[in-house]
Amino acid sequence: MPLVKNARIVTDIFVQVPDGAELPDDGAVLVSATRFLEDPETLLARPGRLGVVWPNNRVVDDLVPFLDRLAVVALAFPTFRDGRAYSQARLLRERHGYDGELRATGQVLRDQFVFMLRAGFDAFETKKQSDAEAFAVTAKRYSVFYQPTGDGRVTALNRRMQQRHSESAGQ
Amino acid sequence: MTSPLEQKIRITGPSMVTANRTFDGAVIYRTASKGWSTSLSDAAVVRTAEQARSLLAESVADDLGAVGAYIAPVEIRDGGEINPGNLREYIRSRGITIDLSVPA
Amino acid sequence: MYAYDELDRTLINERVEEFRDQVRRRLSGELTEDEFKMLRLQNGVYLQLHAYMFRIAIPYGTLSSKQLRRLAHVARRYDRGYGHFTTRQNIQFNWIKLAELPDALADLAEVGIHSMQTSGNNTRNVTSDQWAGVAPGEIEDPRIWSELLRQFTTLHPEFSFLPRKFKFAITACAHDRAAIKIHDIGLRLHKNAQGETGFEVLVGGGLGRTPFIAKTIKPFVHGRDLLSYVEAILRVYNQYGRRDNIYKARIKILVHELGIEKFASEVEGEWRAMGDSALTLDDTVIEEIRSRFSYPRYEKLPHMPEELRLAARDPLFERWRRNSVSTHKMQGYAIVTLSLKPVGGPPGDASADQMDAIAELADKYSFGEIRVGHEQNLALPHVAKRDLPALWKALDKIGLATPNVNLVSDIIACPGLDYCSLANARSIPIAQELTRRFANHDTAGLIGRLHINISGCINACGHHHVGHIGILGVEKNGEEFYQITIGGRADENAELGALIGPAVPYREVADVVEDIVEAYLALRERPDELFVDTVKRLGVEPFRERVYATR
């Protein structure tokens, strides 16, 4: 499952450690939400970066107190039709100010890239190699966006208002 | 979404496998020579659940050529002619039952 | 009419290119059907019995003549020369080839027509009153708000993969022609005591297996908060709507399971947490959208023009005028409904030739504008009264002047088993037979306003639950049977119909409907007591007796 970051395929330095298995002494690890919440302080104290895999059927509130110390939050798309993680992503970025890596995992297909980027994801465990390779091109598919999200893209409404302004300013 | 193969396969009489052609949606029937035909008379007829399952499995595997394959009943006339086995298949093979031309 | 600008057109074109690429990947095998299905649904492409069906969006039911001509072109070039107008103000083509769809979409994009989100688990066409902008007594044009909602919900990154489909409707009149109470979100535009525009927000309406009438979640949401409040509702639904069972996945089930108070407080909590939202609309933004709607330059016309006075001598013209012509907010103008329910014809269909002819008539008599109603008829919204006689003659020539609007033969029907792979039974032939039984328009006029709705399966695309007479196709031992309900309504007094008895076979349906109508005529208190009011007054029993006495 190629990992895409910054529109390129990169090596994933995070090791996903199953519940019950011992954590390596250092190095970047991903742990489950259950494991994390059992003893967050110990996990956060360990050397090496920490990421949490958060299920899509649980509100993110319990994770919020720790966001500024997490390197990665991985959200899930168990099927590509299940869009709960889009809401989770927006809440993490826009309401709770999370600015670490927000990773999309599970059934991540090319046709969801733009939606995911706009919702705040910046890392993508893509299902298909060909989709990962097409990321840069796909991300540019759309240049007009109707609604605001936390991604900073100017909405069509605002662009029109800006045009109006500059038109009347020029008069 | 469960694939048709995950469901229990039961047939109540002679049956065939039908689907829609991917590129244009036309009604197609699975033939005995591992292909598809738009003509019901070319349909492979199966008479046991195992045969039906096997025919369905090979049809479903052709994801590029056909969409939505399923098992449907047929009626075999005395001369061996294959006829649709229910109203739905009748409509699929013969077309809509309504007269579209409207009297002035 | 809303004028699409460079930005709107760019978005539509980008969508066409994306779909072209998706079709290419499907036909090359790069995408499996399982992966492709959701993508094609998001562009309104269904697989039906005989072919793909293509559903095109007509936002809030408003079309320009140029757009209607292009629909005629698509019907000819890519389909079999006709289209079907739906109960959600959209149009459907039944014979489209997948391989040709991107070209059809490109042709449509040139005139600002798209098919985004006309299917799939996302937010669908925001429907409205087909008389928006011209109905007397309208508080303000609801289409401004429909357009704001349309833009807000189009390709929304958070809400494109909801648990299930999501439908909006808006009304701005006391009489609800948009059936808001059977929508996931229904919006009733009105003004508060300070004279500010806002909405009563209703949630959880919907038909299908578990029909519900929508409940009020908030009596007044200020116009500026409409989008942020809707976002709160959608977010609660996206997170908590059921995903384990498609028959329990609509928001109506969530509202039912939580209860309206708990649901309302969840939404309120989310809305408050949103705080100062980027979605809050200020007046300049609303004005910006409003300014892109153009309205006709109406002339100052007399209430009773000479042409109309003279034509009144023709009984056939008069019958049509009394039936199909409605009062316009501007003196000297009228709203004309074009019945797409000819005797013996499939309800809601129009041929490519008819579409072209209507476009020409719209140019000549209606400032180039056409409307689509959820009852599957069209309307010309700005006709000068003096032009009514000439318009009538022209409509009559092309079979679009059947004087049966809102009468018993003005039937709403889904495509049914003739077209649809979900159907249990056929609906169109039933409708056709019924129009033949009630072909005498004077008799139909005597019977009065009576809505028959036919659905070929429990998915209820024909809205049978809210028909004055509702007909639902079911399957019994491989044969087509129909359950009949009476007393349903879709307007501001929305109500679900009640079953009159056991299902009846295909060949008896028309007889049963005739029996019901006869019972009504015998039981009504006065000639102007509507069928649906007689049912309310007397209940189902007297009708049941009449129908099942000999069955």
Provide the angle, in degrees to the nearest 10, between the axes of the packed helices C509-523 and C531-538. 80
Residue B104: its pLDDT value, please?
Answer: 38
Does the pLDDT value for residue B1 go beyond 50?
Answer: no
Distance CA A7, CA A133 (A): 9
Q: Which of B77, B75, B72 is nearest to B92 (CA)?
A: B72
**Residue A76 and residue A42 share a domain:** yes
Residue C312 lies in a domain: yes
If asked whether residues A56 and A89 sit together in one domain, one would say yes
Number of Cβ atoms within 10 Å of the Cβ of C506: 17
Last residue of a domain, one of C292, C315, C340: C292
Which chain C residues have a beta carbon less than 8 Å from that of B27? 49-50
State the number of CA atoms in the 13 A half-sphere of C523 facing the CB: 23
Q: Which residues pair with C190 in a beta bridge?
A: C198
* Shortest CA gap C36–chain A (Å): 10
| Nearest residue in chain C measured CA to CA from B27 | C50
Residue where one domain finishes, among candidates C363, C397, C431: C397
Q: How far is CA C185 from the centre of its chain?
A: 15
Nearest CA-CA partner of C93 in C120, C117, C118, C127: C118
Interface B-C, measured as beta-carbon pairs within 8 A, has a size of 79
Task: Work out the widest C-alpha separation in chain B, in whole angstroms.
Answer: 54
Residue B59: phi, psi to the nearest 5? -70, -45
Judge if A28 and A108 occupy the same domain: yes
Nearest to C49 among B24, B63, B92 (CB): B92
| One domain for residues A68 and A151 | no
CB of B27 within 8 Å of a chain C CB? The answer is yes
Same domain, A18 and A64: yes
pLDDT at res. C53: 96
What pairs with residue C189 in β-bridges?
C199
Give the SS3 label for residue C173: coil
Same domain? For A102 and A169 the reply is no
pLDDT by residue (tens digit) across A64-84?
999 999 999 999 999 989 999
Provide, as residue numbers in chain C, all residues whose Cβ is less than 8 Å from the Cβ of B60. none
Whether C10 has its CB under 8 Å from any CB of chain A: the answer is yes
A129 φ, ψ to 5°? -55, -45
Kindly state the percentage of chain A with pLDDT values over 90: 87
Is residue B77 in a domain?
A: yes
What subunits touch chain A, counting only 3 or more CB pairs under 8 A?
Answer: C
Q: Which of B1, B88, B97 sits opposite C34 (nearest CB)?
A: B1
* Element at C505 (helix H, strand E): strand C504-505
Other Cβ atoms less than 10 A from the Cβ of B21: the count is 17
C371-426 pLDDT, tens digit each: 999 999 999 999 999 999 999 999 999 999 999 999 999 999 999 999 999 999 99
Distances from the Cα of C14 to the Cαs of A7, A133, C105, C266, C357, in angstroms?
20, 20, 11, 36, 32
Q: What is the pLDDT of residues B16-67, one digit of tens each?
A: 999 999 999 999 999 999 999 999 999 999 999 999 999 999 999 999 999 9
Does residue C146 sit in the same domain as residue C288? yes
pLDDT at B102 over 80: no
- How far apart are alpha carbons C241 and C62 in whole angstroms? 32
CA distance C78 to chain B (A): 11
What range does the domain containing A149 cover?
143-171
At residue B101, the pLDDT reads 63
Tell me, yes or no, whether A70 and A150 share the same domain: no
The CATH number that applies at residue C18 is 3.30.70
State whether C9 and C109 are in the same domain. Answer: yes
> Same structural domain for residues A95 and A162?
no
Higher pLDDT, B5 or C400: C400
Domain count, chain C: 4
User: How far does B68 lie from chain C, in Å, by closest CA?
Assistant: 8
pLDDT at B103: 43
Residue A83 sits in the same domain as residue A147: no
User: How far is residue C234's CA from residue C321's CA, in Å, rounded to a whole number?
Assistant: 44
Q: If residue C326 lies in a helix (H) or strand (E), which one and from where to where?
A: strand C325-327
pLDDT category of residue B9 using cuts at 50, 70 and 90: confident
Nearest CA-CA distance, residue C400 and chain B, Å: 10
A112 and A76 belong to one structural domain: yes
**Residue C531 and residue C437 in one domain:** yes
Beta strand pairing call for C333-338 and C378-384: antiparallel
Residues C429 and C521 in one domain: yes
> Do A108 and A168 belong together in one domain?
no
Residues C50 and C7 in one domain: yes
Of the candidates A101, A39, A98, A45, the residue with the CA atom closest to the CA atom of residue A71? A101
Q: Which residues pair with C233 in a beta bridge?
A: none
User: Do C112 and C252 reside in the same domain of the chain?
Assistant: no
Task: For residue C510, report the phi and psi dihedrals to the nearest 5 degrees.
Answer: -60, -40
Asked if the structure places residue B99 within a domain, the reply is no
Would C124 be classed as within a structural domain?
A: no
Question: How far apart (Å, rounded) are the C-alpha atoms in residues C325 and C395?
Answer: 13
C327 located within any domain: yes
Residue A115's alpha-carbon distances to A94, A140, C234, in angstroms, are 15, 12, 16
d(CA C369, CA B72): 47
In a domain, C129, yes or no: no
| CATH code, domain carrying C532 | 3.30.413.10
Look at residue C71 and tell me if it is in a domain.
yes
Same domain, yes or no, for C475 and C357?
no
**What is the domain range of residue C18?**
1-119
B62 inside domain: yes
Question: How many A-C residue pairs are in contact by the CB < 8 A criterion?
Answer: 95
Of A131, A119, A31, which is closest to residue A83 (Cα–Cα)? A119
Same domain, C174 and C41: no
Q: Mind telling me how many Å the CA of A142 is from chain C's nearest CA? A: 6
| Token pair listed for C407 | 């009468």
Q: Is B60 on the interface with C (CB under 8 A)?
A: no
pLDDT of residue C276: 84
Question: Does C385 fall in a domain?
Answer: yes
Report yes or no on B30 lying in a domain. Answer: yes
Q: Which of C18, C151, C238 sits opposite A141 (nearest CB)?
A: C18
Residue B47, in any domain of the structure: yes
- Does one domain contain both C93 and C2? yes
Whether residue B22 contacts residue C27, with contact meaning beta carbons closer than 8 Å, is answered with yes
Which chain B residue lies closest to C421 (C-alpha atoms)? Answer: B88
- Cα distance from N-terminal residue to C-terminal residue, chain C: 53
Count of beta carbons in the 10 Å neighbourhood of residue C6: 12
d(CA C229, CA C267): 8
**Rounded distance between C-alpha atoms, residue C533 and residue C275, angstroms:** 47
Closest CA to C95 of C78, C70, C76, C109: C78
Residue A129 and residue A157 share a domain: no
Q: One digit per residue, pLDDT tens: chain C, 551 residues? A: 898 999 999 999 999 999 999 999 999 999 999 999 999 999 999 999 989 999 999 999 999 999 999 999 999 999 999 999 999 999 999 999 999 999 999 999 999 999 999 999 999 999 999 999 999 999 999 999 999 999 999 999 999 999 999 999 999 999 999 999 999 999 999 999 999 999 999 999 999 999 999 999 999 999 999 999 999 999 999 999 999 999 999 999 999 999 999 999 999 999 999 988 899 999 999 999 999 999 999 999 999 999 999 999 999 999 999 999 999 999 999 999 999 999 999 999 999 999 999 999 999 999 999 999 999 999 999 999 999 999 999 999 999 999 999 999 999 999 999 999 999 999 999 999 999 999 999 999 999 999 999 999 999 999 999 999 999 999 999 899 999 999 999 999 999 999 999 999 999 999 999 999 999 999 999 999 999 999 999 999 999 999 999 88
Structure tokens at C255: 């509202």
For residue C353, list chain B residues with Cβ-Cβ distance below 8 A: none
For residues C65 and C368, is the Cβ–Cβ distance under 8 A?
A: yes
Domain-terminating residue out of C366, C397, C428: C397
Torsion sign across C-alpha atoms C22, C27, C31, C37: positive
DSSP category for residue C438: T
CA distance A23 to chain C (A): 32
Same domain, C362 and C431: no
3-state secondary structure C6-59: HHHHHHHHHHHHHHHHHHHHHHCCCCCHHHHHHHHHCCCEEECCCCEEEEECCH
Name chain C contacts of B91, Cβ cutoff 8 Å: 49-50, 417-418
Interface contact C11-A146, CB threshold 8 A = yes
Predicted confidence band at A1 (pLDDT cuts at 50, 70, 90)?
confident
**What is the model's pLDDT at position A165?**
81
Number of compact structural domains in chain A:
2
Within an 8 Å CB–CB cutoff, is residue B80 touching chain C?
Answer: no
| Residues whose CB is less than 8 angstroms from the CB of residue B9 and which lie 6 or more positions away in sequence, other chains included | B49, B52, B53, B56, B71
Distances (CA, A) of C86 to C126, C173, C376: 13, 22, 6
Q: What is the total count of domains within chain B?
A: 1
Query: In which domain, by residue range, is B57 found?
Result: 4-94
pLDDT digits (tens, 9 = 90+) for A121-150: 999 999 999 999 999 999 999 999 999 998
Output the domain CATH number for residue A74.
Answer: 3.20.20.70
Alpha carbon C454 to its chain centroid, in Å, reads 14
Residue A171's pLDDT is 58
Closest residue in A to C158 (Cα) is: A86
Same domain for C80 and C58, yes or no, is yes
Show the tokens assigned to A3. 């990992």
Chain C CB contacts of B61 below 8 Å: none
* Cβ–Cβ under 8 Å, residues C362 and C373: no
On whether the CB atoms of residues A143 and C155 are closer than 8 A, the answer is no
- In the block, residue with structure tokens 């979404």: B1
| Residue among C98, C429, C478 whose CB faces B98 most closely | C429
